Structure 1
Amino acid sequence: MKLNIQNETSRLRAVVLGTAKGSGPIPTPEEAYDPKSLEHIMAGTYPKEEDMIKEMDAVCEVFKKYDIKVYRPEVIENVNQIFARDIALVIEDKIIDCNILPDRQEEIEAIRYVFDQIDRRNIITLPHEAHIEGGDVILHNDYIFVGVCTRPDYKDLITARTNSLAVKLLREHFPNKTVKSFELRKSNTDPRNNALHLDCCFQPVGNGKAILHKNGFFIEEEYEWLVDFFGKENVFEITKDEMYNMKSNIFSIAPDVVISEINFDRLNTWFEAQGITVEKVPYAEIGKQGGLLRCSTMPLIRD
């Protein structure tokens, strides 16, 4: 397999889509990886496996409609394998085996058959102390944007997923790219004041447009840099509640086609005003776990 990912919006040809099958019982509060999952565990509204399977099947049908090759993880019973974006990421023709939470290491084995189709010289394995997840890495042609946490209490934050060493190593592995990091706002307990990944508060869409949420960025100047980079007239700013509902976490099939949650009325209307076709799917149950469409997809090949 010849990988090729340069940005978030070029025409998609091959993708890994996670699976909700065999995701196991409702976690205990102590097992929650993020504050939104914890909120739903405590409220008794954590999503049911059969509902999440239906939602992911709807996305798979959209991929089939656009003749996209879809890879699914091998099902491991009692392991949540929905969020394929966390465990690996493709930059150019290289795939990075992410250092994710130790409890989730089994997930990478479920897509080992995909790695086996890739030239070993194009597989990057980072040292154990370099932490990175795919949701924190957004490609934009000559740029690699990276969400990061450099706080001294990093080890105590279950929501801190990418560290400064990973950013340094990305610069070494991709010297021809400009790697720019953004300090994200983190909270173990408040999902409305927590940007779990960079794609929870920012995502490029279409041709030169972007979705942004100011409060997701811990340093205002870094948010303003992105506004200036894309141009204020090209930015769709989402509210704190919209970030909580994962409105920046849609997924682009092409510059003029996105998959979005069916209830995102304000965002979907904006897409259509930009001439972007919106493939609407139900995904609110998946969203209860702190991730949405981009989180559950890991692109392998774009034109």
Structure 2
Amino acid sequence: MGDIVAQCVCESAEIRRSAMTEVYVESEFAPLRTVVLARSEVSIPASAMSSDDLRFLPAESRKEIAVGGDMKDFAPERQARWEGEREAFRTVLERHGIQVHRPRPLTPAEKATAGDGYANFFARDPFFTVGNQVIEASMRLLHRRREVLPLREVMRDHVYPSDCGYVAVPMPEVAAPDDPTLGPGPFLEGGDVLVLGEKVFVGTSGLASNPLGIQWLAKFLAPYGYTVEKVRLHRRILHLDCALGFIKEGLLVACEEALLDGIPEPLKEWERITVDLDRATSLATNGLPLGPDVYVTDPEFSFLGQEIEKFGVHVEYVDFSVTRSLGGSFRCSTQPLLRKS
């Protein structure tokens, strides 16, 4: 009888293991196998419009969202184009054999308690994955601080059952109403985090991740063998992936003007394709490698795609003009759960 029970326990454990979703991010260009693709929900608050916090957006983009409120209400045709962009991108991802998960929509209760703005539009920032560690971020902008909530179902379904870590950055401190910095944080956002094996680069421009958030990440990851390098950014750059992107081993795209201390030392010998600051703020560096041999970008950046193809990388094009007008592009719209050779 004991042998039968033991056999049943072993078989049950094996079934649970086989049902697990593997979670691991090796690098920014390792083959992408499982990814979370963002929804298209946003209401830009009046408080953000009247501050300097949207300085990363080109002037034309700021005009387009100046009305405020939920885009589906004040610009339904633009909303439809935005959703269409995400679906076209999903088609490309699935054509390449990538499993795609989506956050749920925001609930009416979440919208009602979010103050004068809310967001569920860039899956890259509210959480990120380094190796087998899934980390909920700490968002700086007030209307984005609950953006992780629609992703919690993805966590329950695919992260909890997996053999991986799952933690959250400490809640940011409450700032005085007249404090334009929004307080000491800690702030740490996924768009600022680039993974290269056991080396992690984290950007800071004053708009998103800050030194305290970077210090927390370095402390958390150190026991797992990772080192974290801070990368100072131009004040017009929201996140590191808006100034620097890895395409494959030894090849990157960068806006050197936006990297205040130059190309990080471990990357100085890499071949690079450069873009100017205006193109960086239009998200030229924010394409997405699907692996070392395939890269996705916007047709607006065909000049970049042509350069990338010279290195033997196939380039896929998806029109992401509405998405880009909101301050993010292909990398911002996704968060990998599995990138592994």
TM range (shorter): 0.7 to 0.9
Instruction: Output the CA distance in 2 between the equivalents of 1:29 and 1:58.
Output: 31
For 1:118, give the aligned amino acid: V
The alpha carbon displacement at 1:264 in A equals 0.8
Instruction: Output the CA distance in 2 between the equivalents of 1:28 and 1:298.
Output: 25
Instruction: Output the CA distance in 2 between the equivalents of 1:249 and 1:15.
Output: 16
1:120-269 maps to which residues of 2 (within 5 A)? 122-128=165-171, 129-149=185-205, 160-175=207-222, 176-186=225-235, 194-218=236-260, 222-226=261-265, 229-231=267-269, 234-269=271-306
Of 12, 36, 39, 2:59 maps to: 39
What is the match of residue 95 of structure 2? 65
For 2:137, give the aligned amino acid: C
Instruction: Output the CA distance in 2 between the equivalents of 1:224 and 1:10.
Output: 21
Residue 124 of structure 2 aligns to a residue whose secondary structure is helix
The alpha carbon displacement at 1:75 in A equals 1.1
Residue 84 of structure 1 aligns to a residue whose secondary structure is coil
Q: How many residues are aligned here?
A: 279
TM-score (norm 1): 0.85
1:53 maps onto 2:78 in alignment: no
The alpha carbon displacement at 1:230 in A equals 4.0
CA contact 2:133–2:166 (8 Å) conserved in 1: yes
Structure 1: 5+ residue runs without aligned partners?
A: 155-159, 187-193
What is the match of residue 159 of structure 2? 118
For 2:231, give the aligned amino acid: F
Residue 262 of structure 2 aligns to a residue whose secondary structure is helix
Q: Deviations over 1:184-222 (max 9, x none)?
A: 111xxxxxxx1100011101112211111112123xxx3
CA contact 1:210–1:230 (8 Å) conserved in 2: no
CA contact 2:42–2:119 (8 Å) conserved in 1: yes
Relative to structure 1, the CA distance from residue 289 to residue 125 in structure 2 (aligned partners, 3 Å threshold; closer, same or farther) is: same
The alpha carbon displacement at 1:23 in A equals 3.7
The alpha carbon displacement at 1:36 in A equals 5.0
The alpha carbon displacement at 1:300 in A equals 0.6
CA contact 2:202–2:231 (8 Å) conserved in 1: yes
What is the match of residue 121 of structure 2? 82
Q: Deviations over 1:122-181 (max 9, x none)?
A: 1111212321000100001121001024xxxx5xxxxx2111122222222222122111
Residue 263 of structure 1 aligns to a residue whose secondary structure is helix
Q: Deviations over 1:251-288 (max 9, x none)?
A: 01000101110121210001111110111000011111
The alpha carbon displacement at 1:69 in A equals 1.0
What is the match of residue 309 of structure 2? 272
Instruction: Output the CA distance in 2 between the equivalents of 1:5 and 1:142.
Output: 10
What is the match of residue 298 of structure 1? 335
Relative to structure 1, the CA distance from residue 244 to residue 93 in structure 2 (aligned partners, 3 Å threshold; closer, same or farther) is: same
Q: Deviations over 1:52-106 (max 9, x none)?
A: 1111111100111011111111112664322111100001111111111332233
For 1:39, give the aligned amino acid: A
Identity of aligned residues (%): 23
Q: Deviations over 1:103-132 (max 9, x none)?
A: 223321111111113248711112123210
Instruction: Output the CA distance in 2 between the equivalents of 1:197 and 1:67.
Output: 28
What is the match of residue 104 of structure 1? 144
Instruction: Output the CA distance in 2 between the equivalents of 1:144 and 1:42.
Output: 32
Instruction: Output the CA distance in 2 between the equivalents of 1:105 and 1:240.
Output: 28
Relative to structure 1, the CA distance from residue 290 to residue 83 in structure 2 (aligned partners, 3 Å threshold; closer, same or farther) is: same
Instruction: Output the CA distance in 2 between the equivalents of 1:65 and 1:276.
Output: 17
For 2:289, give the aligned amino acid: S
Relative to structure 1, the CA distance from residue 4 to residue 36 in structure 2 (aligned partners, 3 Å threshold; closer, same or farther) is: same
The alpha carbon displacement at 1:236 in A equals 0.6
The root-mean-square deviation of aligned C-alpha atoms, in Å, is: 2.2
Instruction: Output the CA distance in 1 between the equivalents of 2:257 and 2:293.
Output: 28
Residue 132 of structure 1 aligns to a residue whose secondary structure is coil
What is the match of residue 69 of structure 2? none
TM-score (norm 2): 0.76
Structure 2: 5+ residue runs without aligned partners?
A: 1-20, 67-74, 112-117, 172-184
